[in-house]
Amino acid sequence: MARKLDQTDRAILRILQKQGTPSQRELAEKVGLSQNACWRRLNALREDGVIAHDTVRLNATALGLTLTVFVLMRTRHHSREWFETFRKVVGSIPNIVDFYRIAGEYDYLLKVVACDMNDFDRVYQQIISKVELDAITSYMTMETLADNRDLPV
């Protein structure tokens, strides 16, 4: 069951999504709590799984990852064994930053970041050499309009 969040919890989460790692004093001041009360809330949010982990958002372009590709995949295989192999292959490729099982004409959606088309082709070849698929279609992005947006809390 999802944790019931009050306005203070939501304020803490909004600040953390925008700022990442403010000091506890700074965070407590922004939400109107003492440092100890803020620390207790942060711990509770972590223990309840609301805060999954602390991370930093990186700028893909600054790292030379200028190509984003959405890949749709369809398979004829739906066994647990096939899926575990597929999950292992996809999970072993760092360029695949998001991976979803979806409903509709295709079975899976991947978000791939790459330096260029050759780098993307390397990822593509890794997948098709290790997993049997029925159909694959790829969509290269031309411009990122919004990415890694904050969750609505």
Quick one: pLDDT band at residue 124, thresholds 50, 70, 90? very high
Domain edges within the chain: 8-48, 60-140
Which tens digits make up the pLDDT trace of 76-121? 999 999 999 999 999 999 999 999 999 999 999 999 999 999 999 9
Q: Does the domain formed by 60-140 have CATH 3.40.640.10?
A: no
Tokens of 148: 């890694």
pTM: 0.84
Residue 1, pLDDT score: 56
Yes or no: say if 132 and 74 are a contact pair by the CB < 8 Å rule. no
The amino acid sitting at 35 is Q
Q: Which class does domain 8-48 fall in?
A: mainly alpha
- Flag whether pLDDT at 58 surpasses 90: no
Identify the H or E element spanning 117. helix 117-130
Residue 32, pLDDT score: 95
Yes or no: say if 33 and 8 are a contact pair by the CB < 8 Å rule. yes
Terminal Cα-to-Cα distance of the chain (whole angstroms): 17
The amino acid sitting at 142 is M
Residue 3, pLDDT score: 72
What is the mean predicted confidence (pLDDT) over 62-82?
96
